[in-house]
């Protein structure tokens, strides 16, 4: 079996055109990440180096645990500047002794690079406590109304937000850009479409299927080898580009020290119920993307099995991807749970979780795409096996 898998991999994936495509897309992805990093960096539009120098100097002082002394120091630094700007008593000319150019630019610099994030982090504990208090009140209310589902749902919310707080200050621009970056996912889809579309149709075009019919176990072993080689290829491509994304965002932003901080440190995930750190969430997104791409690969292979030539299979697969993307863009609550793209772009499932009632127990709806994807993989494998064995 190992030799068969290697043979199928050589025939479909370990080819010069595939290596060339992977290399080209690898370079294109690196260029795109560099472009995104420049656009999303707070200093991308500034030619003056002193803004970056001032940030690096202050960041070394205030990063890490947010102590009372650090909070007092930065507020002492910021408040006089804020008052001067509010009173309109600042100068528009260059001033000596300023961190950047003058008092006005110092005020904006501190506000955008430090104060906004620090205020969000210091106020988050109060926000979480408020959510817990409301949820606890709702538990009592819904229990009195004999609504077990809503009572249990509010219990889960209260449990998720209980004792939440942010105690560290780190630059999260790199992680924010990484988690919202989808270009590499499109590249992976294109590579899988190109590679998996030929897995079965090549046997028809080369008439190899006629030879396999004469073998007692040849068809079954060949089918298994094709599926395994395809899954190995998809796994390798997903891990390769996911690793490239993380490494290049680290290089371009220069700081991913927030990897151990909770996910809700990012303001966009303020209401998430996940109590995991940023690096764990990125791994979860990679796993979700891998599962979603596996489903797409199985769809490509099914179409390949029923096709007549490679060109027609590629055209139908492209139309299928366009249709799935179109359905996904509708953003219907019902459709998104059965659409594999919900896992491919899995970030959206966890920004703010939704629940459905299952015998009065709240079940997180973000689990549904995994369940439906598992069903699609099993049914797809059964359809392909039946079709392949029939010849």
Q: For each successive 10 residues of the chain (391 residues), what is the average pLDDT?
A: 76 87 96 88 61 84 89 90 78 75 83 89 94 94 90 93 91 90 92 86 58 55 83 94 94 84 92 92 94 91 81 85 78 68 84 82 85 88 77 57
What integer pLDDT is reported at residue 9 of this predicted model? 79
Residue 358, SS3 per DSSP: strand
In contact, 301 and 384? CB cutoff 8 Å: yes
What's the confidence (pLDDT) of residue 208? Answer: 55
pLDDT of residue 204: 62
Mark 34-65 as b/e (b = at least 16 C-beta within 10 Å). Answer: eebbeebbeeeeeeeeebeebbeebeeebbee
Neighbours of 98 (CB within 10 A): 17
Q: What is the DSSP string of 276-320?
A: -BHHHHHHHHHHHHHHHHHHHHHHHHHHHHH-SSHHHHHHHHHHH
- Backbone Cα Rg of the chain: 27
Question: Which residues touch 213 (CB under 8 Å, ≥6 apart)?
Answer: 219, 391
Q: Which pTM value belongs to this model?
A: 0.88
User: For position 3, what pLDDT does the model report?
Assistant: 76
Strand partners, 64: 169
pLDDT score at 33: 94
Which residue from 162, 151, 158 is spatially nearest to 135, judged by alpha carbons? 158
* pLDDT at res. 97: 74
User: Which residue, 319, 325, 354, is CA-closest to 340?
Assistant: 325
């Amino acid at each position: 079996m190992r030799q068969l898998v290697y043979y199928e991999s050589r025939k479909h994936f370990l080819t010069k055109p595939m290596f060339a495509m992977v290399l080209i897309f690898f370079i294109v992805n690196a260029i795109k990440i560099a472009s995104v990093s420049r656009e999303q960096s707070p200093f991308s539009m500034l030619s003056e180096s002193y803004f970056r120098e001032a940030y690096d100097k202050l960041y070394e002082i205030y990063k890490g645990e947010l102590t009372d002394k650090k909070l007092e120091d930065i507020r002492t630094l910021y408040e006089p500047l804020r008052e001067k700007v509010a009173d309109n008593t600042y100068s528009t000319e260059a001033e000596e002794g300023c961190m950047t150019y003058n008092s006005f630019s110092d005020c904006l610099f501190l506000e955008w690079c430090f104060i906004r994030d620090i205020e969000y982090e210091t106020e988050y504990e109060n926000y979480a406590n408020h959510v817990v208090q409301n949820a606890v009140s709702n538990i009592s209310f819904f229990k009195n109304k004999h609504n077990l589902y809503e009572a249990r749902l509010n219990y889960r919310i209260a449990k998720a937000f209980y004792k939440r707080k942010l105690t560290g200050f780190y630059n999260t621009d790199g992680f924010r850009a990484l988690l919202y970056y989808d270009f590499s996912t499109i590249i992976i889809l294109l590579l899988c479409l190109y590679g998996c579309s030929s897995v079965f149709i090549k046997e028809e075009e080369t008439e190899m299927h006629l030879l396999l019919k004469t073998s007692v176990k040849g068809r079954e072993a060949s089918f298994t080898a094709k599926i395994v080689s395809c899954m190995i290829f998809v796994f390798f491509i997903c891990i390769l580009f996911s690793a490239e994304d993380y490494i290049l965002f680290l290089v371009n932003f220069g700081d991913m020290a927030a990897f151990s901080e909770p996910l809700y440190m990012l303001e966009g995930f303020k209401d998430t119920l996940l109590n995991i750190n940023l690096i764990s969430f990125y791994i979860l997104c990679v796993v979700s993307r891998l599962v979603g791409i596996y489903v797409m690969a199985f769809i490509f292979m099914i179409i390949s099995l029923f096709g007549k030539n490679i060109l027609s299979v590629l055209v139908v697969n492209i139309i299928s991807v366009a249709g799935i993307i179109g359905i996904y863009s509708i953003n219907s609550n019902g459709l998104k749970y059965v659409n594999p793209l919900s896992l491919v772009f899995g970030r959206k499932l966890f920004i703010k979780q939704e629940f459905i009632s299952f015998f009065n127990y709240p079940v997180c709806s973000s689990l549904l795409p995994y369940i439906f994807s598992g069903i699609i993989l099993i049914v797809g494998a059964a359809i392909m096996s039946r079709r392949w064995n029939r010849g």
